[in-house]
Amino acid sequence: MAQWEVMVGNKAVAYAAKIARAGYISAFPITPQTTIVQYLSDMIANGELDAEYVTVEGELTAQASAFTASAAGVRAFTATSGPGLLYMHHPMHVTAGSRLPVVMAVVHRSVKGMQPDHSDMMAQRDTGWMMFECEHSQELLDTGIMAYKIAEDERVRLPAIFAGDGYILSYTAEPVELPPQEEVDEFLPPYQTEWPLLPEKMNQVLPFMMKQFGFGGDPQDPWKRQQKAMEEAKTVIREVNDEYGKRFGRSYGNGLVEEYMCEDADAVIVAMGTIASTARTAILNLRKEGKNIGLVKLKSFKPFPAEEFQRIGKEVKALGVVDRNISCGSGGIVFGEIRNSLYDLDERPRTLQFYAGLIGKEVKVGDIEKVAEKTMRVAEGGEAGPVVEWV
């Protein structure tokens, strides 16, 4: 029988690793992630979780040791924030290139300060990791469990990040439903790999690893396989999200995007993470005023659901994209991905760019209402005004 507990987001993340039966935890503290690994330490000390817990000297080692544990056939977990994620950059490429299903929680912290934005994860967007963004603590727990199921699927075999905004989620308490362990065990069977990095298997593993890194063939083959796996992941994400919904009563759109009040919308706002929560209230307020606007919550940033935005782009006249990040010299990263997705449509909707919430700046319902009203004006044929707008 499911249990309920009021808990902060970091504890929900720790419970996800526990319920998923992670067998290896690499731990290094960094605000605002630190309490995740503290909770896991307590769970192991109390006998609630049977796992190897290793404290390391830095985030690079945290990633490298999780890589090694996964290669040896153990379900591995680690967690970090902000600059710690940047420090992991090199081994993250190796983990993805080796097709190892490590799962990592990222508690967002800006690379320019202690407060949250999405600049830490966006700086890793080309490492080959799947990246899932969460809106609330329940979603953190559910996504952590689903991430292992997706990552370990034979069609995928890629590492995954599931992320939530620091402070806003990490240290805020709300009710979370804990699914029964026996039901999760049925949903998520033990991790198995055909190529465990063990001494008795080395004569089989070394040729496999050489192939993964392009030796003895077309040097581009590893990239081709990784790209194919990322595309296959879209199907697997949908399947896992659907199965989780049937088993536990919770799913998140189709696993790639979640649409809110979009059925008859002339325009939509696109947002990720906790800003999507704020946007729900703004959309509801505007709907009460008779304005046909909806919300598209981007759940899966990588793989990016281009096909979903092409479908949505055919149904609406304008999209207002709210980015909690900026690629200086280019613009909002989600905005750029969406514009790229829409390029080949015969009739493209207008796409507006908004920056919000960087370095923890508060984003209020009224802010999103202004974003939505401007997007609606453009959908109705009005002028866009400034190409870029800071919220």
Domains and their CATH numbers in the chain: 3-195+223-248 (3.40.50.970), 258-390 (3.40.50.920)
Query: Residue 1: its pLDDT value, please?
Result: 73
Q: What pLDDT sits at residue 219?
A: 78
**Gap between the Cα atoms of 56 and 301, Å rounded:** 29
Residue type at 90 in one-letter notation: H
The pLDDT score that the predictor gives to residue 2 is 80
Pairing of the two strands 76-80 and 24-27: parallel
CA dist., res. 74 & res. 144, Å (int)? 16
Instruction: Please check whether residue 270 is in contact with residue 338, taking contact to mean a CB–CB distance below 8 angstroms.
Output: yes
Rounded Cα distance, 18 and 178, in Å: 11
CA dist 29 → 51, 82, 110, 168 (Å)? 18, 12, 16, 19
The CB-side HSE value for 130 (13 A sphere, CA atoms) comes to 38
d(CA 108, CA 125): 14
Per residue of the chain (391 residues), what is the pLDDT tens digit? 789 999 999 999 999 999 999 999 999 999 999 999 999 999 999 999 999 999 999 999 999 999 999 988 999 999 999 999 999 999 999 999 889 999 999 999 999 999 999 999 999 999 999 999 999 999 999 999 999 999 999 999 999 999 999 999 999 999 999 999 999 999 999 998 766 555 555 555 556 666 666 566 677 888 899 999 999 999 999 999 999 999 999 999 999 999 999 999 999 999 999 999 999 999 999 999 999 999 999 999 999 999 999 999 999 999 999 999 999 999 999 999 999 999 999 999 999 999 999 999 999 999 999 999 999 999 999 988 887 899 9
pLDDT of residue 284: 97
Backbone phi and psi for residue 116, each to the nearest 5 degrees, phi listed first: -85, 145
User: Is residue 164 within 8 Å of residue 107, measured between CB atoms?
Assistant: yes
Would you state the structure tokens that stand for residue 153, as one six-digit string?
């699927």
Where on the phi/psi map is residue 386: left (φ > 0), alpha (ψ -120 to 50), or beta? beta
How far is the C-alpha of 145 from the C-alpha of 134, rounded, in Å? 13
pTM, two decimal places = 0.94
Cα radius of gyration rounded to whole Å, the chain: 21
Q: Count Cα atoms within 13 angstroms, Cβ side, for 185.
A: 4
Question: Which phi-psi region, left, alpha or beta, contains residue 309 (left: φ > 0; alpha: ψ -120 to 50)?
Answer: alpha
What pLDDT is stored for residue 192 in this prediction? 86
